[in-house]
Amino acid sequence: MNILRLAFAYARRRPLSTLLVVVMLALGVATVALTLLIARELETRLTRDAEGIDLVVGAKGSPLQIVLAGVYHADVPPGNIPLSAVTALRRNPLVAQVIPLALGDSFQGFRIVGTEPELVAQYGGVLEAGELWSQPLDVVLGSEVARTAKLRLGDRFTGSHGLAEGGGQHADARYSVTGVLAPTGTVLDRLVLTSLASVWTVHEHHGEDTNAPREVTLALLKYRTPLAAATLPRAINSDTALVAASPAYETARLLTVFGAGFDLIRAFAWLLVAASTLMLFVALAQTLAERRYDLAIMRALGASRAQVALVLLAESLFLAATGTLLGIVVAHAAAAAIPWWMPQLAPLADAARHFMPEEWMVVGLAMGVGIIAALWPAWRAYRLDVAATLAEG
């Protein structure tokens, strides 16, 4: 019959107010924790996917669009660039590496990317089975594509036109799976990789002009020297019909925009936490009136002033702890459930598996809520005049 059990018994005797306080606190904590988790995962992902890519070059369009399309495979590219532009970039002494990308088709929502084997190396990809493409229409699947589409080596499928699901099928061109990559935790997991020639072949079949100059969509560049950062983007942007965009810069800009949104959501969530503090305080202050006689009896039974004050503090902390822990659990469950409620953000579900130091801070603050809400009621209990209360009869 310790003080915690007593606190639990009291909380159980007024289920509605207990439920309300716990649920509100849990919602507040869950929202704060979830925005922290998602923001962190987003930043990690965006940074990891852009690692080692110094510049993305594409047709005229916004730099953000070019980065979104070329690095994160999250937007449509602005248009095509001639293969000769890639060749020219390769000859530039400031450039260490150029990886061309030919986009346009997709398979079950996953992008089919015509490229060169260097792209696999860029993301640290390793073959789990099979080998890289050698013939046109050979494809290598990212781990998530293989898992979701349940494709194995030797399986054949057709791509659909366009980057979203539901485009017309290229029924006459069947890809064949020659390799499957191990998971990398990057955007590579969600790509179908093939040779540039494959993409050209598919679109020739489609009745496009075979004599037209070869084109790609984008090129990923790595600088030979840090000096290139100062001159190369400007040179490309002013001297050619191309646009050069820096993933680092665009990503930082994107995170600032997201960050402001997250901050706003979090501010509302803290408001929820503050409101539940107030409710906890009101609930305790109200029961104090009904419970004065209980507390007096406990004093008569030998409890000290500190002990009766502790009963209220324990009850408050018990509710705050329940709400906080529930909130943390809900946040992680919600993160794990992202693929169901926001399929396009599915990779962020990884956030559910990590605990952040900030979450401990949230737990600490919410427990502080429990203490603050109980301070005045506990003080009243401490100051209770036992003889007078008992004599009230």
Partner 1 sequence: MFELSGVLHRYGAVPAVEVPEWRAAAGDAWLLAGQSGSGKSTLLHILAGLTRPTVGSVTVNGTDITALSESARDRWRGRNVGLVPQRLHLVGALDVRDNLRLAQTLAGLRVDDDRVTALLEAVGVIELSRRLPSQLSQGQAQRVAIARSVINRPALVLADEPTANLDDAHAAQALELLRGQAIEARATLVVASHDALVRSLLPNLFALPAWDVAAI
For partner 1, which is the closer residue by CB, 6 or 252?
6
Is 387 among the residues that bind partner 1 (CB under 8 A)?
A: yes
Is 241 among the residues that bind partner 1 (CB under 8 A)?
A: no
Q: Exactly one of 62, 92, 176, 307 binds partner 1 (CB under 8 A); which one? A: 307
Place of tokens 């994107």: 254
- For residue 291, the one-letter residue type is R
Query: For residue 2, which of 380, 378, 372, 310 has the smallest C-alpha distance?
Result: 310
For partner 1, which is the closer residue by CB, 14 or 48?
14
For partner 1, which is the closer residue by CB, 62 or 389?
389
Q: Exactly one of 204, 304, 342, 361 binds partner 1 (CB under 8 A); which one? A: 304
Q: How far apart are CA 366 and CA 362, in angstroms?
A: 6
Is 365 among the residues that bind partner 1 (CB under 8 A)?
A: no
Within 23-62, the residues that bind partner 1 by CB under 8 A are: none
Q: Exactly one of 211, 301, 340, 341 binds partner 1 (CB under 8 A); which one? A: 301
Q: What are the structure tokens assigned to 35, written together?
A: 């925005």
Give the shortest CB-316-to-partner 1 separation in angstroms: 15
Q: Exactly one of 9, 264, 333, 337 binds partner 1 (CB under 8 A); which one? A: 9
Is 391 among the residues that bind partner 1 (CB under 8 A)?
A: yes
Is 212 among the residues that bind partner 1 (CB under 8 A)?
A: no
Q: Exactly one of 75, 155, 294, 358 binds partner 1 (CB under 8 A); which one? A: 294
Q: Exactly one of 38, 298, 317, 349 binds partner 1 (CB under 8 A); which one? A: 298
Binding mask 252-291 for partner 1 (x = CB under 8 A): --------------------------------------xx
Residues in contact with partner 1, counted by CB under 8 A, come to a total of 28
Please check whether residue 23 is in contact with residue 323, taking contact to mean a CB–CB distance below 8 angstroms. Answer: yes
Residues 6+ apart with CB under 8 A from 148: 108, 110
Among 6-14, 53-61, 82-90, 155-163, the segment contacting partner 1 (CB under 8 A) = 6-14
355-389 burial: b if 16+ Cβ within 10 Å, else e: eeeebeebbeebbebbeebbeebbebbbebebeeb
Is 393 among the residues that bind partner 1 (CB under 8 A)?
A: yes
Give the shortest CB-41-to-partner 1 separation in angstroms: 43
Q: How far apart are CA 358 and CA 87, in angstroms?
A: 48
For partner 1, which is the closer residue by CB, 204 or 385?
385
Q: How far apart are CA 56 and CA 61, in angstroms?
A: 12
Angle between helix 15-50 and 3-13 (nearest 10): 100
Where do runs of H (alpha helix) occur along the chain? 3-13, 15-50, 63-70, 83-91, 118-122, 143-149, 196-205, 228-239, 247-300, 305-336, 338-341, 357-383, 386-391
Query: For residue 255, which of 40, 15, 6 has the smallest C-alpha distance?
Result: 40
Q: How far apart are CA 382 and CA 384, in angstroms?
A: 6
For partner 1, which is the closer residue by CB, 2 or 238?
2
Query: For residue 276, which of 89, 17, 14 has the smallest C-alpha distance?
Result: 17
Q: How far apart are CA 240 and CA 328, in angstroms?
A: 52
Q: How far apart are CA 369 and CA 366, in angstroms?
A: 5
Place of tokens 């289920």: 15
Q: Exactly one of 136, 258, 305, 382 binds partner 1 (CB under 8 A); which one? A: 305
For partner 1, which is the closer residue by CB, 40 or 305?
305
Residues 6+ apart with CB under 8 A from 131: 178, 179
For partner 1, which is the closer residue by CB, 12 or 150?
12
Is 135 among the residues that bind partner 1 (CB under 8 A)?
A: no
Among 88-96, 244-252, 301-309, 368-376, the segment contacting partner 1 (CB under 8 A) = 301-309
Is 230 among the residues that bind partner 1 (CB under 8 A)?
A: no
For partner 1, which is the closer residue by CB, 213 or 393?
393
Binding residues for partner 1, rule: CB under 8 A, are 1-2, 6, 9-10, 12-13, 290-291, 293-294, 296-307, 386-387, 390-391, 393
